[in-house]
Chains A and B, each alone.
Chain A
Amino acid sequence: MYTLFYKELLRFSKVMLQTVMAPVVTALLYLLVFSHVLDEHINVYDNVTYTAFLIPGLIMMSILQNAFSNSSSSLIQSKMTGNIIFVLLTPLSYLEFYLAFMLASIIRGLAVGLGIYLVAIFFIDLPLYSFGWMLLFGLAGSAVLGSAGIITGVWAEKYDHIAGIQNFIVVPLSFLSGVFYSIHSLPEFWQQLSRFNPFFYMIDGFRYGFFGVADVNPVISLLIVLAAWLALACATLIMLKSGYKLRD
């Protein structure tokens, strides 16, 4: 189990430029553009500039997207090249298979998050209200997306399928989750709709770790995120156990 996890880490660290640096740069570009345009005009929480408000959201969004991308792209690559059989031939159980891919996704997500954080605090004075809450949401959020990535990677038959899920589900949900705004600034209908988006709770709770303020009680957010993780973990394990698409 440890070996598979370690191999997955090696895989993305060997292409660090693409897997960690690139997302960090993307996030910083967002930051530059949005903060420059909007910093003067919007104040979401008292005593928090818009730029400061934006950073945790961007960090979390990148953590989530990269956690998803790590497990899904690694799996589709192994399937397309056929080398997935080297894992399937081993005595590893489906539970170990799941844990290895999920943990590697978490590490990749957190590595990207840390990268953005380190560059951001260079330029902006960012409070850190509670490291524990921040880390908890970072872990739980990337676990959810890592699991979703495994399901997508096992199901997908070509890269297009992964890109489809990424572009039509993961990215929209993460954009529409309050990364760029507090949902209280939305019309009533959109506020209600946001409450069905699990990404909203991840980002809101993560942001609570920085400012100690949130749209929703962080305990409730955490429970919702953990429930989402539990549901996805079960779905992934059932899928892996059945051998779906891997051992047909």
Chain B
Amino acid sequence: MIPAIQIDNVHKHYGKVHALRGMSLTIQQGEFFGLLGPNGAGKSTLINIIAGLTRKNSGNVTVMGHDVVKAYRQSRYSLGVVPQELVYDPFFNVRELLQIQAGYFGKGKEINPWIDELLEGLKLTDKADVNMQALSGGMKRRVLIAQALVHKPPVVILDEPTAGVDVELRNSLWQFVQGLHREGHTIVLTTHYLEEAENLCERIAIINDGAVVALDTKEALLERGVGKTCKVVITLAKPLEQIPVALQPMLKTHEQNRIEFTLQRGSDSIMALINTLVSAGAEISDIKTEDADLEDVFIELTRAVNQ
């Protein structure tokens, strides 16, 4: 089967910034794929290159087998992109905007039922005739999603679609996107909410500083974390002024009464940790241990590269 997206040794320079350093990645049709990485890792740059919004300096990119430069028409028919920025055209209302966007892809009136379906699915029906300027941020975000889907592309990329969206709406958005995935769409998503990626994505690439640092199924990535580290959450009766120096390398977060440590299995011992805390005068009221989640793996991997 032709891959949905194939990225082969792509480099991108912005002046002195080497934003992508020989990135390679293959995403199969029907996947729910997560693209994670810290700010400035190059996620949006990669998406812009796939979408033809930015030109790469070297390498090859195809969407459904169509080269994004040489066969840009076919590749763009195959692709729907929800951009990271909340951009809109203030001259038009929601329905006009969707009709115009469909028109760019050569669609006419026959697309109207699909537009109604999209408005319904994204809970925008009652806003259809409202000017874009009068919509809230979350509504604009949903219009962006509708715009990306208006030409029925088989591959959909969402660049942080849930930034600034409230919990309820986020959940309904994910239901909508999962629906698309069930219908056979390939979904690629970037997010800074690692829980989302953990719940939704089948396979995840973690990128850092313009290169892929990990690429695996969600389970395998978690396995790595679980195999290597565990988390200890300690609740204190009263806040501790300072964490003993010996414990600093393991410290993850410290907020008043709650301290979180990441321990390397095998080398770090929970007993030693507790003893050190007690001898520093801590009154421990609760101890919990947890397996690592995606966030730990993420921090682990991106930290390793930064050092």
A residues contacting B by CB (< 8 A) are 2-4, 6-7, 10-11, 14, 78, 81-83, 85-93, 243, 247-248
Cβ contacts A to B, 16 pairs, < 8 Å: A2-B103, A3-B100, A14-B91, A81-B89, A85-B53, A85-B87, A86-B104, A88-B52, A88-B53, A89-B51, A89-B52, A90-B104, A93-B73, A247-B52, A247-B53, A248-B54
A11 vs B92: C-alpha distance when bound (angstroms): 9
Please give, as numbers and ranges, the residues of chain A lying within 8 Å of B85 by CB-CB distance.
Answer: 82
1/0 per residue, CB under 8 A from A, across B97-108: the answer is: 000110111100
Decide if B91 touches A91 in the complex (CB within 8 Å).
Answer: no
Within the complex, the shortest CB–CB distance from B70 to chain A, in Å, comes to: 13
Q: A86-B147, A91-B73, A91-B77 given as contacts; is B91 within 8 A of A6 (CB)?
A: no
Q: A81-B88, A83-B89, A90-B76 are in contact. List 20 more A-B contacts (CB 8 A).
A: A3-B100, A3-B104, A11-B91, A14-B91, A83-B87, A86-B89, A86-B104, A87-B104, A88-B53, A89-B52, A89-B79, A91-B73, A91-B74, A91-B104, A92-B104, A93-B73, A247-B53, A247-B55, A248-B54, A248-B55
Decide if A243 touches B104 in the complex (CB within 8 Å).
Answer: no
Decide if B76 touches A89 in the complex (CB within 8 Å).
Answer: yes
Within the complex, the shortest CB–CB distance from B249 to chain A, in Å, comes to: 43
A92 vs B104: C-alpha distance when bound (angstroms): 7
Which partner residue on chain A sits nearest B86 by CB separation?
A: A82
Within the complex, the shortest CB–CB distance from B163 to chain A, in Å, comes to: 15
Q: A10-B91, A81-B90, A83-B89 given as contacts; is B53 within 8 A of A89 (CB)?
A: yes
Count of residues in B whose CB is under 8 Å from the partner chain: 28
Please give, as numbers and ranges, the residues of chain A lying within 8 Å of B96 by CB-CB distance.
Answer: 10
A214 vs B76: C-alpha distance when bound (angstroms): 51
A4, A82, A93: the one within 8 Å of B87 (CB): A82
Please give, as numbers and ranges, the residues of chain B lying within 8 Å of A86 by CB-CB distance.
Answer: 87, 89, 101, 104, 147
Within the complex, the shortest CB–CB distance from A53 to chain B, in Å, comes to: 39
Decide if A91 touches B103 in the complex (CB within 8 Å).
Answer: no
Decide if A247 touches B54 in the complex (CB within 8 Å).
Answer: yes
Q: Is B81 an interface residue (CB 8 A)?
A: yes
